[in-house]
Structure 1
Amino acid sequence: MFAAFGRRTMLPGVRGTFGDMRGQMRTILISTTALIAATVQAAAQAPAAPAAQDGAAIALDTITVTAARAERSISEIPQTVQVVGQTAIEEQLKQSPSASAALSRLVPGFSVSNQTVSGASETYRGRDLLVLVDGVPLNTPLRDVSRILSLIDLNAVERIELVAGASSLYGAGATGGTVNFITKRAEPGPPRATVNTALRAFTHDVGASLAPELSTTISGREPSGFDYVFTGTGRMSRRTYDGAGRELPSDAMLGQGGGDRFGSGNILAKLGYDFDAAKRVEMSFNWFSFDQTPRYLTDYSLPFARPIYSQPYTGLSVLEDTKSLQLRYLDRDFALGSLSVVGFYNDIEKRFNFSTFSYPYNSQVYYSFNPNDPTSRNNQTTLFSNRGGVNATVDTPFDWLWPGARLTWGSDVIVEKTRQTLTSGQDVFTPLQQVTAAGFGQLQVPVTDRLTVRGGMRYEAFFLDVQDFTRPAAYAAVAARTPLGYQAFVLPAIAVTGGRFDYSAPTFNVGATYRLTDSAEVYAGFSQGFALPDVGAYTRRAGLSTAYACPVATPNCLPAARRTVSFQQIAPEAQIVNNYEVGIRGGEGPWRATLAGFISTSNEGVTFDPLTNTISQQKEFIYGTEATADYALSEQARIGLIGTYREGRYDSNKDGRLDSWLPNNRIATPYRGTVWLDYLFDAGVKLRVEGEGYSGRDARIDLTGARYRIKPGATMNVLLSAPVDGGEAYVAVNNLFDAIIQNPTATSVRNLPVYSWGRTVTLGYRKTF
């Protein structure tokens, strides 16, 4: 009933107890331990072989990452860490420009890409993934919308660092993990230019789907210490088709935006200056632009989402206009160690799809006050968010405490303003302003040459200013025995009174790594992260229930006493997530591998109940295993495997028992994996073959026993590249056999089947001058 207002759909499940979870986790952890032991034994006995190629998503102790707010070797981090290098990024770009598609193929634990501009239902370990660009978040926590990964231009990215599990080191949002897209750095020497161009099309109708892409990067570093990087990328999409040749809709997930008929542009401009070997200042500017013009409205009735060719789309385009500015200062000779100060400002504008009333699929819309045509012509929203702040980090040697010990500490201050309006300019939730202040400390101690222990905490305080506003009137319907099959009513405008509200969230982490050999270590850790309540969504839904309904004939029937809701009544709190993890990583000779088991728990909920205008409290328990492995068959051939299992339950009736499976929009495919083969022929010709597969899901997800089935699926992708005229020509075929499969991530948003893309072919050429 609340589809048009972005409600998180809660689905039914089966009964269970915490004891059931402990038994299942005991099995998982025993299996993980046995696999770890077998991996260590195999590593010790394996013969030598060539090292893994650059870009393999395998964590090795020689790699340093910045995901811990200071440079650290992966062997010192007691969490699962995956690093994707530039070679692997360029290989993925040949197949798809999508960052979510790249993560889906390369990183265990990440969901299947939903193939749209939105990140709806794309989760990591069943929870949220915090997205950073050069260490700066792009999220909008006061109104949690998921259009972030689709903005990332992989042409401008040098490497991707992903730390699994809950973390609060960068603030709110990393309940499932943190991914940091690190943009390209200039190499010493005169200007260098790299051009990458491609044509992509669906084989069902090449002419109607042919879409071009062009990206250019220019970089250089002067002897004076000045360096620069400029990347500009433009691409477009036209019609999209599934494996049966059916055109896919422009808005299959109701208001989220699609993957067809758009033009997008990205600009990265980065200037830097090295004062000396220790001091550097850098300024960067990112602009993300997206404009989609759907041609038809979408039919959300069974058997699957599809365009309504008889109903042209009449709304404004789906828009993204985000600008991000960063200024960074680094001093490795700072009196207290190494200093990093980053100032940033994000100016964000996101416009969503226009949709119309359609019972029961879109049963609530903003009201036109015409019962014969109830959808307001302004039933389309735009989010505006301005977010700026300063992050300061100091990495201080603590040799007086213990030889080699280091303390990473600092503070963050962020100011943000967020509002969302109809196309008429009327607010749909209360305008919000929040000041966040945080301090953190992270101590690392090398107890022995093999054992490293880490622990720390972060304390974050939020000062929220909620303005008064009037939630617009809505038209809604519920099932009833009438000729139409439903009873319509009006939800009159409600005044929401605001005020000033403060809340805070301390989080902790502790863990250790132990080096088994020179190239392998085991690790175990506990870490906490937190999710801010989606304050904007809560005030947008205030009073959106039958308890506040009026007959269509008397749309303003509410007495004065029921026309006001106080934000104090909603009372949001931060959701704290606990992450427990054990794993092994490394390799020997021809092998490279990682293996991890994890548990993720939380006690506070983030679901809004419009009947009582309060946030429900519910326990959650998620568990799983993740593995990667690759093996060098020879100097020319390498094979690999990426696999994951994840599942979870929650307390659906808030009685303290884990009685239901998590809904599909959190976990749509418990099992999924990728098998790949790379082969290097003579003369530099390269072949990559990928097989992707995932399980379905058919769980009862609440005490009523309802089921929303997700079907399993599998595809194969092939990439062939060869040196041509000093550059590289390539051809890629995704979904080689044109399989007709559901997209589990997109399907899970509205419990309506949405099909995946059919066979696509890409022809491209890359050259550096």
Structure 2
Amino acid sequence: MLKALPLYVCFMFLSVAVWAQQGSISGRVVNPNKEAVPYASVFLKGTNSGTATNDQGEFKIENLKSGPKQLSITAVGYGAKTVDVQVAEGENTSVTVTLSTNQQGLNEVVVSASRVPENIDKIPSSVTVLSREAIEQDLMISTNVIDILSNRVPGLAPSGGTSSNWGQTLRGRAMLVMIDGVPQSTPLRNGAVDMRALDPDAIEQIEVVKGATAIYGNGAAGGLINYITRTPRQQKLLSSRTTLGMTGSLVDSDNSIGARVSQLFYGKSGKFDYVVSGAYEQTGEWKDAEGDVLPPDYGLGETDSYNGFVKLGYDFTPFKRLQLTYNYYSSEQKTNYVPLYGNYREGQKTRAVLGQTLGVPQGVRSNQNLNARFSGDHAFLDSHYEVDAYYQAVDNVFFWSTSFEFGGQSMVSSEKKGIRALASTPFALGAAVNGDITYGFDVLNDITSQPLVDGRVWVPEMNMLNLAPFVQLKTTVAEDLILKGGFRAEKVNIEVEDYTTLRTVNPSTGQIDNPGFNVKGGELGYNAYLFNVGLRYNKLPIFTPYASFSQGFSVADVGVMLRSARVDDISKISTEAIVVNNYEAGFVSQLGKLRFEGVGFISTSELGSSGQYKDGVFVVMRTPERIHGFEAIADVHLLENLNVGATYSYVEGKMDVNQNDQFDDTEDVYLGGERISPPKYTAYLNYSLLKNQLMFNLQYTGIGKRDRFDRNESGTYNFYQGPIDPYQLVNLSASYQLTKNTRFNIGIENLLNEDYFPARAQWFTSPTMYNKGKGAAFNVSMVVEL
């Protein structure tokens, strides 16, 4: 024992010496108003050490070796921030970290562009982020998420003011709509009602990646829209948010009054957190600027909408998490009105008249999403990993149509099951070069069909299995030069059983144009290899340039080809998949309180997906396409309580009809309005008084002129080729903080009661959609947060 005594003494002194070298970091995280940011994540880079701030925004990390450290701080609704801290031996270093907020999400952490969290200023492409604050501002005016996105996102075509987003392309191509990365779109039979997939009160953030993107695969030819659902904002066990609202027409209030109620509960207790919400909205009659009831086809008047949302999370450790999410959404129109179709050539609008409605209520019969996610950080080689298993099922019912023999209603039914797995491993090559490699695979089984409600089959079941491994590399050189590149392999197999085409009626002659005949099914197979590369240079805030090339993949609308088949075997139908090449270059300039972004793009594909009606049948044109355009975005923080901003977007496109790799020949034609939108201008002004107790938001959306086609032999325009006359819409909202927990909101949509035809009504030229836009309407709500 005595012999061992010197060893014990040495060990004791060594322990004291080591302990003496250790220090700690404590601090507080606040917002620009110096208010606490509770439950922010504080992580020490290069280690497994991390914590979360308490309800006062305070944190402390102990037992740290002396030397320079880097703290990474993130919080929902704020931009991420990295802080350098020098830890001294045996001392506590105190810091105060201020996180920035921005209405348009210009500094947000996003996940959609690369499938792993990253700051938006590290992405070498154009991304628009709508924060929860921006969403809440627009909810004061309209709860239609299609309108919200149209007014906020440059490059997104104008809203038609209905439940359908058909013709509302992103940079001239179809986009993929997702909820937490789970696809909602049905590209096998694109019904174009995927943007209304959940209630906006269940959304925390909306991320829009513009231009073809390879990272998500099938359907993202024009980009993607990802709804990020709610997460808990408070550490306490129970918090709540209650919204009560009323809507109606300011032109003619009779039968126009609607109501809305939304209840949200959320909280955290130890390692467990949850969000539970429910929303119900019933709209009254929607009316145009003349006070006439808007027609019911794709209408949102007299609609009952329900949404139920549950998210449960459990943190096994600070860096391992299991999360379960379920969302149910339904939005059906229950009306006593039928359309009285107008006349495009004579400028006579389609109206709604009282009558007996046929069939069942149109709209989203049900949309269910179930998602289980296991994620973690600091695994092997300090990697981040995620594994998702999901299920999604949707039934979208369309309006009654006389195009079917004896009439009928079609519905797009889709059921998806999938697994997504990825890991992201950081690396460093010396002090100047670092980055990460993200790799994984996606498996998706999508079964989509378009039957009639009465059981007749218009589009048979298409059973798709999609396997796609991918890898993405991101490298940062000297902190300022960011290089990203990646590869994705798509293997798609679609099975179609034998079917019989549906008997349909020519709307012009009233005669049977398709007597129905047997079509032999089979398998359709596709293999595609997609690449992307991007470069961004962040050295000078006054000029931050970026450029990228990315490919997107889409199997096009196979269903619309199958239902229009005029051959007896699907192998004879031109169903080849589309690979889109997207070239983009832009820059961001930060000049004091001014932020400006400009971006130009070119999008090409060897095969097209536009179509035209021939003898009442929709025929897809498979000719090469080229689309180009540019966007400009400006935001100015003029005063502490005054923000203004504006955007401009332009897009144009052509088909190479003679397929000679030129797009300026006399045979070549412009793409129609269902693909190419007219120029769009937007502007906003936010003004607050009384320390943000009273806030005003003024919003402007202008749609420019587009006239690219000649009249046909009958003196009118073909489908999709009608000219667009300009129109301007102004919205106004105000919000007043009545008490600490209660806020009163009022919004006026179409403040100036603009009498207009939406762009879609103008270019489609068909009486089935030749309806006016919504007139002046009000939205009053009260929000109570406890």
Distance 1:701 1:324 in 2: 46
Cα deviations by residue, 1:668-701 (Å, 9 ceiling, x for unpaired): 31x2111221111125111111222111221127
User: How do residues 164-175 of structure 1 correspond to structure 2 at under 5 angstroms?
Assistant: 164-175=210-221
Q: Which 10-residue stretch deviates more, 654-663 or 410-419?
A: 654-663
Tell me which of 425, 432, 439 is aligned to 1:409: 439
- Which amino acid is the alignment partner of residue 182 of structure 2? V
Task: Tell me if the contact between 1:213 and 1:236 (Cα under 8 Å) persists in the aligned partners.
Answer: yes
Q: Superposition pairs for residues 130-141 of structure 1, below 5 Å?
A: 130-141=176-187
Contact 2:264 2:275 in 1 (8 A): yes
Give the Cα–Cα distance (whole angstroms) in 2 for the partners of residues 739 and 300 of structure 1: 20
Q: Distance in 1 between matches of 2:531 and 2:552?
A: 8
Q: 2:785 matched to which residue of 1?
A: 768
SS in 2 for 1:565: coil
Match for residue 634 of structure 2? 629
Q: Which residue of 2 aligns with 1:260?
A: 301
What CA distance in whole angstroms lies between the structure 2 residues aligned with 1:279 and 1:765? 38
Partner of 1:467: 497
Matches of 2:355 and 2:658 in 1, distance apart?
Answer: 41
Q: Tell me which residue corresponds to 2:82.
A: none
The Cα shift of 1:520 comes to 5.6
Classify 1:537/1:490 alpha carbon distance in 2 versus 1 (closer, same or farther; 3 Å). Answer: closer
Matched, 1:492 2:515: yes
Deviation, structure 1 residue 420:
2.1
Residue of 563, 568, 593 corresponding to 1:565: 568
2:761, 2:489 → 1: CA distance? 36
Distance change in 2, residues 1:679/1:614 (3 Å): closer
Query: What SS does structure 1 have at the residue aligned with 2:162?
Result: coil
Deviations 1:404-460 (A, max 9, x none): 121111100111212222232121122221111001111111133221111111110
List alignment gaps of at least 5 residues for structure 1: 1-50, 252-256, 357-364, 368-375, 479-485, 544-563
Equivalent pair of 2:681/2:703 in contact (CA under 8 Å): yes
2:246 is matched with which residue?
199
Residue 40 of structure 1 aligns with which residue? none
Identity within the alignment, %:
29
Partner amino acid, structure 2, of 1:393: L
Q: Is the 8 A contact 2:435 2:473 kept in 1?
A: yes
Query: Paired residue for 2:404?
Result: 366
The 8 Å contact of residues 54 and 88 in structure 1, kept in 2 or not, is answered as: no
Shift of 1:399: 2.8
Highest relative contact order (Cα 8 Å, sep 6+), 1 or 2? 1
Q: CA deviation at 1:606?
A: 2.3
The match for 1:747 among 759, 762, 766 is 762
Kindly tell me: are residues 607 and 668 of structure 1, through their superposed partners in 2, closer, same or farther at Cα, counting changes over 3 Å? closer
- Tell me the equivalent position of 1:734: 749
Deviation of the 1:168 alpha carbon = 2.0
Match of 2:362?
A: 318
Residue matched to 1:190: 237
Which TM-score applies when normalising by structure 2? 0.81
Q: What's 2:376 paired with?
A: 331
User: In the alignment, does 2:682 pair up with 1:674?
Assistant: yes
How many angstroms apart in 2 are the aligned matches of 1:663 and 1:414? 32
CA change 1:258–1:495 in 2 (3 A) is: same
Residue in structure 2 matched with residue 247 of structure 1 by the alignment: 293
Q: Distance in 1 between matches of 2:640 and 2:437?
A: 43
Counterpart check, 1:398 vs 2:427: yes
- For the pair 1:301 / 2:343, whether they are aligned, the reply is yes
Q: C-alpha distance in 1, partners of 2:541/2:673?
A: 42
Corresponding residue SS for 1:155: helix
* TM-score calculated relative to the size of structure 1: 0.83
Q: Which residue of 2 aligns with 1:7?
A: none
1:449 maps onto 2:479 in alignment:
yes
C-alpha distance 313-448 of structure 1, shift in aligned 2 (>3 A): same
1:7-406 matches, cutoff 5 A: 54-57=101-104, 59-60=106-107, 63-187=109-233, 188-223=235-270, 225-251=271-297, 257-294=298-335, 295-302=337-344, 303-307=347-351, 309=353, 311-320=355-364, 321-336=366-381, 337-356=383-402, 365-367=403-405, 376-377=406-407, 379-399=408-428, 403-406=433-436
Query: What do residues 492-547 of structure 1 show as CA deviations (whole Å, max 9, x unaligned)?
Result: 1111111123211111111100013258621011111122122222111112xxxx
1:310–1:634: structure 2 CA closer, same or farther, 3 Å change rule?
closer
Contact 1:652 1:702 in 2 (8 A): no
Q: Does 1:504 align with 2:527?
A: yes
Matched residue count? 667
Could you tell me how far apart the structure 1 residues matched to 2:761 and 2:325 are? 34
Change in CA separation of 1:306 and 1:608 when aligned onto 2, cut-off 3 Å: closer
3-state SS in 2 of match to 1:121: coil
Does the 8 Å CA contact 1:623/1:646 hold for their aligned counterparts?
Answer: yes
SS where residue 587 of structure 1 aligns?
strand
For residues 298 and 277 of structure 1, the distance between their equivalents in structure 2, rounded to whole angstroms, comes to: 61
Would you say the 8 A contact 1:184–1:229 is kept in 2? yes
Q: Deviations over 1:456-493 (max 9, x none)?
A: 11110011111011112222265xxxxxxx47344211
Structure 2 letter corresponding to 1:314: L
Deviation at 1:239, TM superposition (A): 1.2
**Structure 2, unaligned stretches of length 5 or more?**
1-97
Q: After superposition, give the CA deviation of every residue in 1:623-679 in whole Å (9 maximum; x if it has no partner).
A: 11112112122212221112212222223465654222210111231x211122111
Distance in 2 (CA, whole Å) between partners of 1:352 and 1:468 is: 25
Change (3 A) 1:238 1:653: farther
Partners of 2:189 and 2:559 within 8 A in 1: yes
Distance 1:743 1:56 in 2: 27
Name the CA distance, whole Å, in 2 between partners of 1:675 and 1:319: 32
> In structure 2, do the counterparts of structure 1 residues 602 and 317 end up closer, same or farther at CA, with 3 Å as the change threshold?
same
Tell me the residue number matched to 1:25.
none
Decide which structure has the larger Cα Rg and report it: 2
Secondary structure of 1:190's match? coil
Give distance in 2, aligned partners of 1:585 and 1:343: 37
Counterpart secondary structure, 2:675: coil
What does residue range 637-716 of structure 1 map to in structure 2 within 5 Å?
Answer: 637-652=642-657, 654=659, 656-658=661-663, 659-669=668-678, 671-682=679-690, 684-700=693-709, 708-716=722-730
User: 1:333 offset after TM fit, Å?
Assistant: 2.5
C-alpha distance 427-448 of structure 1, shift in aligned 2 (>3 A): same
Relative to structure 1, the CA distance from residue 586 to residue 159 in structure 2 (aligned partners, 3 Å threshold; closer, same or farther) is farther
CA distance in 2, matches of 1:280, 1:742: 49
Residue 541 of structure 1 corresponds to: 564
Cα distance change, pair 691–533 in 1 and its aligned pair in 2 (3 A): closer
Give the counterpart letter for 2:647 in structure 1. Answer: I
